[in-house]
Amino acid sequence: MQRLALTIAILFFLVNCALFDSWLPSAPSEPTPVPLAQPAIPRYKLIIPTEGMYRVTASALRAAGADPNQIDAPTLQLFRGDHEIAIRMLGAPENFALEFFAPAPDSTFSNFDVYWFRWGAQPGKRMREVPAAPTGAPKDSVTSVARASKPSLYIVEAGIAGEHWFWQSLSAPTTTTITLTLPSAISANAQLRTYLWSRTQDAANNPDHHLTVQFNTTRVADEKWDGQGARTITATIPANLVKPGENSIRLIAPGDTPAAADIVLLRALEMTYTRRLIAQDDALIFQTDAGAYRVDGFAGDAIDLFDITDPAEPQRATGATITNRALTFGSSATRRWLALGANARRMPTKIALMTGAELRASRPADYIIITHANFVNALQPLVKFRGERGLKVSVATIDAVYDEFGNGIESPYALREFLKWTQTQWAKPAPRFALLVGKASYDFRDYQNGANKNLVPTFLVETLHLTQAASDNWFVSFDEKTGLPALAIGRIPAKTPEQVTRVVEKIIAYEKAQPAEWHRRAIFSADDKDADFVVMANELVEKLPRDFKPTKIYLADRKGDVKATRPEIIARWNEGAGMLSYIGHGSIDTWAAGPLFSAENLKEIKNADRLPVLITPTCLDGYFYHPQKDSLTEEALFKTDGGIIGGVVPTGLSLTDPQKQLMRLLYAELFEHGATTWGEALWRAKQKMTNDSSDRREVIDTFVWIGDPALRVVFAK
């Protein structure tokens, strides 16, 4: 029981929050390259899912809308990002094909890679040829590496920055068996590496962890160690245990240490072994030292060999000997090779014209919408409405942004570059509002195949209390040192056009309605787990104008009885209020322990068109980027018979003091400085925050506006 209690405590540890979702994301660090902008020259993108040699034919280009007869073949250039790739041109000008090598996609943000090509600018880079005639007796085997990994668990408090995906959690006592495939393996000594992260630590006892590794039922490693952090278990595998094809690896955590809990996380298995040079599916990628080598097992004698040591400049090898469906060649140094038969060329998943060149054109705009393409039609009533209210509106699809500012590569960096461009290159005055329309997910590569896909990305920033959290603020904070936003930004985290339509209808009806008495009602609910929650609530009540009617619903006044307190929150919400605030501990879909209120309770909310703005200085209440579940804020926003009109809510964890500062400044913008829109009120409040500590920076980064940032502040006089 003691072990179980400590395990639960570790899994649900948090700072200033009662509840915590532990499967959280890391902060990506790769930049998006600056695009080679040539608006006058058509650009086409190729979607590449896996490693291999790719062929693009004239007929495939024609099917994608390009006219091969208009392509000047000598000037055809292929790029990955802003780096030109050497290609091989084949065939006659009117019926040509191009070939290029693509390494395995390695983006943090996407399962596929994007290459793009153009013509008419300058001569293109072509593959060179390199001699590879064999000399001496050829070897038929090489050292190879087999790796097994299946990212499926995201545990933010484990791992180093950017590496928080794990395969399995091993909570002792437990045993897990994994199959590792070793193609064409031969009987020779091998080395197995098991990559782990030690999650638990018991300061009073040593060691914390014990793990035994078996290879094909034979124990090859047995290690005990102490503490948290990265751990690699290396084992020598005797030749007699290694077999071609499937091999069994068993990891046994017996749970026999004196520690209260023994939990390690498995990241990957990696085996260095000797394999025969036999083609698989008519191709083989392998590495050699200097010498002669023979590769067997091809479907025929039409075999090509490429030196892919530098993937951007592959070279076609000449002089190799081909007989009896085998290739014999010579390597002058340590090189990486691709040998492939006639059946092994791959085709891109998709070829498409790149869009978005018009996004660089200067234009007057007050209000920018970046949306998933599926939602463009559903947004048209809002575009029209904002235009009628005097805002110049510009709409861009996220794919167009990727194409023009990320060379087709899916990345939040492209979105940030676009918004920065509008501030520096578009007609003045610069745009004031940015609205993102589409759900985000921290599972950029969809490892978990979650119900919530990454339609319009967010960015994951380094934070003090959650390690990483979503920050739409990052898109508009162009000064990395301050992190302060340059314009107002908001998000409608919709998954379907119907959700977009629902929110758009709410917004238009809300702003068209005449101010009413309920607009100047304000509901305040506070947790009883910290006296500071009530202090903050009372302070905010005092900052309301005199003609506001606040209602205080504090757990402390009801001796912590959530069942007695919740009905009053529901009743006051249903009556209608301009503002609804909860202050205290929170999680993705609940307030306070109990819970005081949860997404499940939203079915009792029937406030029709009397929609409040939700303001929650708490934790995780605006967690719009979970791959499986929706936050309380989202469910309230998309509710059909009421809910909320928008919200100032957190995507991560933070402390009360910096939350107080943001709330004071927000109230000052609303009630002293006359902010006319909610997005601008939050923007200006953040600009005035002192960000001289990690705590304050975390609040600036992770408090977001869910809804339309141009939503008018509507309070009755």
CATH of the domain at 164: 2.60.120.1200
Say whether both 665 and 518 belong to one domain: yes
| 70 in the same domain as 209 | no
DSSP-derived secondary structure letter, 278: B
Residues 546 and 661 in one domain: yes
Shared-domain flag, residues 591 and 639: yes
- Are 584 and 669 members of one domain? yes
37 vs 260, more confident: 260
Gyration radius of the chain over CA positions: 30
pLDDT digits (tens, 9 = 90+) for 71-103: 999 999 999 999 999 999 998 777 899 999 999
pLDDT of amino acid 692: 86
Region 270-287 average pLDDT? 98
Give yes or no: residues 118 and 159 share one domain. no
Residue 691: the pLDDT is 82
pLDDT in tens, 643-695: 999 999 999 999 999 999 999 999 999 999 999 999 999 999 999 998 889 99
Q: What is the CATH number of the domain that holds 619?
A: 3.40.50.1460
Q: Does residue 95 sit within a domain? A: yes
Q: Is the pTM here over 0.85, yes or no?
A: yes
Q: Which of 19-23, 282-286, 373-377 has the lowest mean pLDDT?
A: 19-23
Same-domain pairing of 630 and 517: yes
**pLDDT-derived band at 26, boundaries 50, 70, 90:** very low
Number of domains observed in the structure of the chain = 3
**Residue 536 to residue 413: CA distance in whole angstroms:** 37
Q: Within this chain, do residues 245 and 113 fall inside the same structural domain, yes or no?
A: no
Burial of 306 (0-12, 13-18, 19+ CB in 10 A): buried
Give yes or no for a cis peptide into 429 (omega within 30° of 0): yes
Residues 105 and 241 in one domain: no
Residue 328 in domain: no
496 domain-assigned: no
**Residue 30 included in any domain:** no
607 and 697 part of one domain:
yes
Residue 698 structural domain = 511-706
Q: Judge contact between 86 and 77, C-beta under 8 A.
A: no
**Which of 250, 276, 302 is the endpoint of a domain?**
276
Q: Is there a single domain that holds both residue 91 and residue 159?
A: no
**Would you say 51 and 314 are in contact if contact means Cβ atoms under 8 Å apart?**
no
Asked if the structure places residue 401 within a domain, the reply is no
Q: How far apart are CA 664 and CA 661, in angstroms?
A: 5
DSSP label of 396: E
Any domain includes 698: yes
Residues 92 and 240 in one domain: no
Query: Is the residue at 31 inside a domain?
Result: no
CA angle (685, 698, 448) in 5-degree steps: 120
612, 550, 603: which is closest to 577 by C-alpha?
612
Calpha distance 573→538 (Å, rounded): 19
* Residue after which a domain boundary falls, among 249, 276, 303: 276
| Residue 394 in domain | no
- The residue out of 352, 369, 399 marking a domain boundary is 352
pLDDT higher than 70, residue 377: yes
> Where does the pLDDT of residue 134 fall: very low under 50, low under 70, confident under 90, or very high at 90 and above?
very high
**Residue 328 burial (CB count, 10 A):** 18
